[in-house]
Structure 1
């Protein structure tokens, strides 16, 4: 029977007054054993609580040596390749015929790890000075141009103030990192003195304790006069601020999925939203983040006068079609560059191919991941198609034109197809491929055959933003003028 503190107090008070134990028991309605227990207790000082753990269960008793051996062997393994309690249970069932349930195994594994924890285990609280930043990547889904896409989110956090900024990219290359850092630096108006990374950001390769930085990132550091430090790959607590920020920004900025017209529009939106997060108070220092961030800025470096261009140049030899491969993706400069040595400029969003004299040949959108089709600018293939119109049916350009233009060229005779492709090539040179195709489409919709003069004139007007009223132009005048000129040339 449990005796309350008040009753214990009465027992001891009556005992101090000389009342007999039997009388105390009758008066308070407790047993004589309770009276003896509490009158005889000499020390009521508080003692630390003892956790009464449930026993592991007799069914696991015969397997404890096996479990302990597996867990002891784990000490020599990487942390991410050690036994979980579930893996221990699965092995016991499959290899040792364990008949029991999972819970006793889980309790035994937990108790073993608690008993074998060393002073070096666990985490240390780190103190960050103003002017330092941590950098890492996470992933998040967004809606770009109406389609769902999964992006790699570069997150930059300033641990002293807890200010956080994010930018989305299609990959985790050095070009993406340098572009994202440049964007954040220019947005906040200063350069952190120190950048803390792990080895998963594309700007360095770790071998043991040594990190080899990419040439692009080394140039980036020189440009901004900052230094970089790389964490122990198994010690996420060394950059816990940014790892927490990745999850925080995903929950607070990406739910529901943000929608934007293009990657640049999304990144502008993210910067604005991150600025608004700076109005909140720091979770521990109880000051607005923006106030603390002013100290980060004061401790940082000034932006340089020149803007860094995060581009990586590589030499390639094009194949017989003028195509080069970058990270497994094919990009074509066109047949004019067949078997030529070219230079490829890689940026986070585009690939620029230059000739032997570093003159730009073509700029193409950069593609990350598996991509079966060749990335191309249709305009670079038009000159070759005009000379070899028989290749039209299998040409990739065919997929880049509108249905009316495609049908017109499909039905045309070889000579007319050659002339039509030459018309599109000429208009493309003066107004661009998209405007040339739109002009030809417009002329076909009016029931006329596209000619060099009509397509070129309309394409240039479209490029200049001076699109004519569809009902105001009468293009038959060009047919009449052509017939008149032919008649005047016939001798009398």
Structure 2
């Protein structure tokens, strides 16, 4: 611009174009160009046509007709850029490349975009939370498993929390939300969800919500709102947080001994992220989150119990079907109407009077075999010990006990199973089998009352340590006994000698007196 200014300054002073070119060292054409411009006001830049654009000449009208016609077609059956490229090649002998077609379609869509189309920035009040699920891997007790991570965010402060579960059921959501509510000591006034099938589903303006989650909302007095299908942008804060938390606190895969331990670790890592500044407001997230908590609801005095109770009739073997998996209550409960308590981590079976029968770890997915507690089959095996060889319990006991039961007569087998049942009732099945294994290993009879005593001592940690017994103590006791006997004998000899002397002395005294 300095050269241009000098050209126009000299031109204004009446200097000829030839003289300007000589003085400034530019061509006379440049002088003529810059002196002829009347308006130097800034203008917006215009994109230059890229090479290859001329190859579409004669095809743009056809392409425009296809794209206009797409407006009347189903959304999933419209032309893509690849399809638009393929049709001119096969139908109109187009010889150009794919790139000009792709750029033309992009420009066409931008030019014909509706005024109301696109996303808009949403403002969320304090005390509002967004909820969503994602997936991530973790090492639990040394085993890598795929977990479903429940992410809860507060858009006002950008505070984020995460909890891991084996599924995305209503029980998982209710348990995770309760954990987070109690962690922050408050309940959000409004919860924003997508169409999560475990909680509820929105079809048009109609929302069908699970009974469990309806009870959860009533318990904490909060409200739920569901986004439109395929509209993740309506809760963009939590959508972004799912990927952010997965990349920042779960890389590499976190390790824990249990899912409960992992969830405690995740909460502490989320607290560390809260020390950072808000991406837009500039204040620490933890300070802004204080305003979120202040706008939330107070917690009730009792926490919500996230369990779903359903009635199930047991079959002839005493098994009930829960979510495509079979759980065995026990043969004694055959053909009875039982109550099943479904939690996020376990299945509880109750009898007709709501008395606990047995508890199982909840299995997600399809199990290959019936899920059972070995102790529930022991009473039936005591009554029919001949069924031992084909019982599923046989594969669940240690080799010494299995071998002993395989070789035992029915009466002895029933006797051992009776004591195992009693010990398992007092402790647990694994402890009872461990006690029986110890008795067999040392050569004792496992089918005795000592089995239950040993099982209780194992549970209490009072089992004596195995050690080499020093029998020398008995030699010491024998030596002490011998010493006592020798002392007694010596005392008897002394007494006898003293008595003899006294008798002799007495006789001498009598003789002298006489």
| Structure-2-length-normalised TM-score | 0.85
Report if the CA contact (8 A) 1:165-1:274 is conserved: yes
Looking at structure 2, the residues matched to 394 and 74 of structure 1 have their Cα atoms a distance apart, in angstroms, of: 67
RMSD: 2.6
Report if the CA contact (8 A) 1:137-1:201 is conserved: no
> Which of these residues, 183, 187, 200, is aligned with residue 187 of structure 1?
183
> Which of these residues, 151, 156, 160, is aligned with residue 160 of structure 1?
156
CA 1:383–1:86 in 2, change beyond 3 Å: closer, same or farther? farther
* Cα shift readout 1:201-222 (whole Å, capped 9, x = no counterpart): 5110222221111110110011
CA 1:453–1:283 in 2, change beyond 3 Å: closer, same or farther? same
Bigger Cα displacement from structure 2, 237-246 vs 437-446: 437-446
> Which of these residues, 63, 67, 70, is aligned with residue 73 of structure 1?
70
CA 1:61–1:368 in 2, change beyond 3 Å: closer, same or farther? farther
Bigger Cα displacement from structure 2, 188-197 vs 391-400: 391-400
Corresponding position of 2:6: 10
> Which of these residues, 357, 361, 367, is aligned with residue 363 of structure 2?
367
Corresponding position of 2:239: 243
* Cα shift readout 1:458-492 (whole Å, capped 9, x = no counterpart): 11111223232133799xxxxxxxxxxxxxxxxxx
Report if the CA contact (8 A) 1:341-1:355 is conserved: yes
Corresponding position of 1:142: 138
Report if the CA contact (8 A) 1:431-1:463 is conserved: yes
Report if the CA contact (8 A) 2:412-2:447 is conserved: no
Report if the CA contact (8 A) 2:202-2:228 is conserved: no
Secondary structure of the residue that 1:423 maps to in structure 2?
Answer: helix
Looking at structure 2, the residues matched to 445 and 186 of structure 1 have their Cα atoms a distance apart, in angstroms, of: 50
Report if the CA contact (8 A) 1:60-1:104 is conserved: no
Report if the CA contact (8 A) 1:365-1:375 is conserved: no
Q: Report how many aligned residue pairs link the two structures.
A: 469
CA 1:356–1:97 in 2, change beyond 3 Å: closer, same or farther? farther
Corresponding position of 2:27: 31
Higher Rg of the two aligned structures? 2
CA 1:451–1:114 in 2, change beyond 3 Å: closer, same or farther? same
Gaps of 5+ in 1: 475-492
Gaps of 5+ in 2: 471-514
Report if the CA contact (8 A) 2:314-2:333 is conserved: yes
Bigger Cα displacement from structure 2, 326-335 vs 444-453: 444-453
Report if the CA contact (8 A) 2:163-2:176 is conserved: yes
Corresponding position of 2:118: 122
Matches within 5 A, 1:327-338: 327-338=323-334
Corresponding position of 2:296: 300
Corresponding position of 2:219: 223
* Cα shift readout 1:297-345 (whole Å, capped 9, x = no counterpart): 1111111011110011111111111111212111111111111111111
Corresponding position of 1:483: none
* Cα shift readout 1:260-318 (whole Å, capped 9, x = no counterpart): 01111111111111111111111111111111111111111111011110011111111
Report if the CA contact (8 A) 2:174-2:213 is conserved: yes
Looking at structure 2, the residues matched to 68 and 277 of structure 1 have their Cα atoms a distance apart, in angstroms, of: 52
> Which of these residues, 404, 412, 424, is aligned with residue 420 of structure 2?
424
Looking at structure 2, the residues matched to 25 and 324 of structure 1 have their Cα atoms a distance apart, in angstroms, of: 100
Corresponding position of 1:490: none
Looking at structure 2, the residues matched to 68 and 455 of structure 1 have their Cα atoms a distance apart, in angstroms, of: 88
Looking at structure 1, the residues matched to 87 and 363 of structure 2 have their Cα atoms a distance apart, in angstroms, of: 44
Report if the CA contact (8 A) 1:67-1:88 is conserved: no
CA 1:102–1:305 in 2, change beyond 3 Å: closer, same or farther? same
* Cα shift readout 1:67-109 (whole Å, capped 9, x = no counterpart): 8636853675457x76654566578889999766543343233
Secondary structure of the residue that 2:393 maps to in structure 1?
Answer: helix
Looking at structure 2, the residues matched to 423 and 255 of structure 1 have their Cα atoms a distance apart, in angstroms, of: 50
Bigger Cα displacement from structure 2, 412-421 vs 264-273: 412-421
Structure 1 residue 191: Cα displacement: 0.6
Looking at structure 2, the residues matched to 87 and 125 of structure 1 have their Cα atoms a distance apart, in angstroms, of: 34
| Structure-1-length-normalised TM-score | 0.89
- The alignment status of 1:357 with 2:353, answered yes or no, reads yes
Matches within 5 A, 1:15-94: 15-54=11-50, 55-56=52-53, 58=55, 62=59, 65=62, 69=66, 72-73=69-70, 77=74, 84-86=80-82
Looking at structure 2, the residues matched to 412 and 100 of structure 1 have their Cα atoms a distance apart, in angstroms, of: 87
* Cα shift readout 1:348-398 (whole Å, capped 9, x = no counterpart): 000111111211111111011122122211111111122223332332222
CA 1:142–1:100 in 2, change beyond 3 Å: closer, same or farther? farther
Looking at structure 2, the residues matched to 60 and 401 of structure 1 have their Cα atoms a distance apart, in angstroms, of: 81
